[in-house]
Amino acid sequence: MTYLVTGGAGFIGANFVKYLLKKHADIQLIVLDDLTYAGNLGTIKDDLKDSRCVFVKGNITDPTVVQAIFDQYPIDFVVNFAAESHVDRSIENPQVFLETNILGTQNLLETAKRNWTTGKDENGYPTYKKGVKYLQVSTDEVYGSLGETGYFTETTPLDPRSPYSASKTGADLIVKAYGETYKMPINITRCSNNYGPYHFPEKLIPLIIKNILEGKSLPVYGDGTNVRDWLYVEDHCKAIDTVLLTGRIGEVYNVGGHNEKKNIDIVKLTISTMKRLFDEQPAYKKALKKSGDDLSWLSENLIIYVKDRLGHDQRYAIDPEKITDELGWYPETKFEDGIVKTIRWYLENQDWVEEVTSGDYQKYYEAMYGNR
Ligand code: NAD
Ligand code: DAU
């Protein structure tokens, strides 16, 4: 099978590339990524040494770039991770979110349709090359925000509330439209918050780890009671692989592991876990930018409550029953293990953090959080 993996130099896309190379011997991966601030070739440098994986730098909105890939490779699957993914940035600058997330998706769909079409059926619908599929990697944020109870199912009405989630919803709708209007073989997966290695430190968990290592304050939006439903990134990758290979054509699958946490609890847990790891394995202290053996400063006193995110969604919670019952997917990594694995990874991979934050990161941080 030949996969076009867009956004494969970003957090989940790169984890997916690693997952596929480990899981399937007989595959060819074409990674298309424009290497925005969030994409980093270093993340997949070892994977690119594998002859089964090649990289193309380019924008998913560019028809020439995408067509050239279809000209060169017999693409069976398109898996679209490429996106502007950060809610806070979408509040500051929505336009690029609409361009990449909606127009980019439509360009991928149109190019795939053109290249996969083999003819027409008796009703005028296109017919397609056998076994091909387009999978859109979407998010639970398209469902909006929950109160204290209830879960998002695949039939929950779409109700996006941020420019980011509105753009992801727009993308989902155009994917569905290609599925209905042209009978194109598509799936959409809607996953909850991921965490794990290679997560860009603008997002909550890696930002908190980075700030602790630098002895900085830990910014919590609003009162910290907002709830996110966390899933270890490899479990998300397994879900996408499962849907790609066995998902019913045209279906949406929610992905989540029933692991709701308040933001403030995530921050407190990160503090206590890092403290414990420094005690158990003093060599980890090398990752600290603040020197000295006295770690009494590493406490909940670092937490500061900052201005809330505009339109901040209160709670997300996924009901994953459909993917579990139909396709047998289940999450393998318990949060208590995953968070320790993730923190250890950051402690052991500070070079990666420095590499990805060497560009405009500092400017972004100061604009977002001031000089704290
Ligand atoms: P990310 O920001 O870490 O990575 C996005 C990647 O896309 C980067 O490598 C970037 O260079 C690339 N990219 C951006 N614009 C591009 C363009 N126009 N053309 C080509 N490449 C482009 O994002 P992520 O967290 O890995 O998310 C991946 C996908 O999963 C996104 O579609 C996101 O909406 C979805 N998702 C994320 C989460 C999460 O918790 N992170 C949860 C559910 C769904
Ligand atoms: O639910 C899936 C979504 O999860 C994905 O679609 C998005 O691409 C991904 O970025 C993520 O969105 P969130 O907005 O939930 O993630 P983020 O890490 O930005 O924030 C998590 C929560 O923590 C959220 O309630 C805001 C809060 N927060 C975030 C930051 C960066 C803080 O309190 N302080 C912070 O500094």
Strands (E), 122-271: 126-128, 133-139, 186-191, 193-195, 218-221, 227-232, 252-255, 260-262
Angle of CA points 299, 232, 12, to nearest 5°: 110
Q: Provide, rounded to the nearest whole percent, the portion of the chain with pLDDT above 90.
A: 95
- Ligand 2 atom 8 nearest Cα: 85
Cα torsion angle, 252, 257, 262, 266, sign: negative
Q: Which ligand is nearest to the CA of 191?
A: 1
What is this structure's pTM? 0.98
**Residue 82: band (very low, low, confident or very high) from pLDDT cuts 50, 70, 90:** very high
Distance CA 252, CA 158 (A): 12
**Is 197 a pocket residue for ligand 1 (Cβ < 6 Å)?**
no
Angle at the Cα of 154 from the Cα atoms of 149 and 159, rounded to 5 degrees: 70
For residue range 304-354, list pLDDT tens digits in order.
999 999 999 999 999 999 999 999 999 999 999 999 999 999 999 999 999
Distance between CA atoms of 191 and 343, rounded to whole angstroms?
22
pLDDT of 290: 78
Mean pLDDT of 180-197: 98
Nearest ligand to the CA atom of 307 = 2
Q: Can you give the pLDDT at residue 340?
A: 98
Residue 71 pLDDT greater than 90, yes or no: yes
Atom of ligand 2 nearest to the CA of 204: 18
d(CA 308, CA 83): 24
User: If you classify domain 2-198+231-258+311-335+361-369 with CATH, what class do you get?
Assistant: alpha beta
Averaged confidence pLDDT in the chain: 97
For ligand 1, is residue 7 a contact (CB within 6 Å)? yes
Task: Check pocket membership of 101 for ligand 2, CB cut-off 6 A.
Answer: no
Q: Rounded distance, CA 21 to CA 64, Å? A: 27
Q: Collapsing DSSP states into helix, strand and coil, what is residue 254?
A: strand
Beta strands, E only, 288-357: 303-306
Active site residues: 140-141, 164
- Whether the per-residue pLDDT at 293 is higher than 90: the answer is no
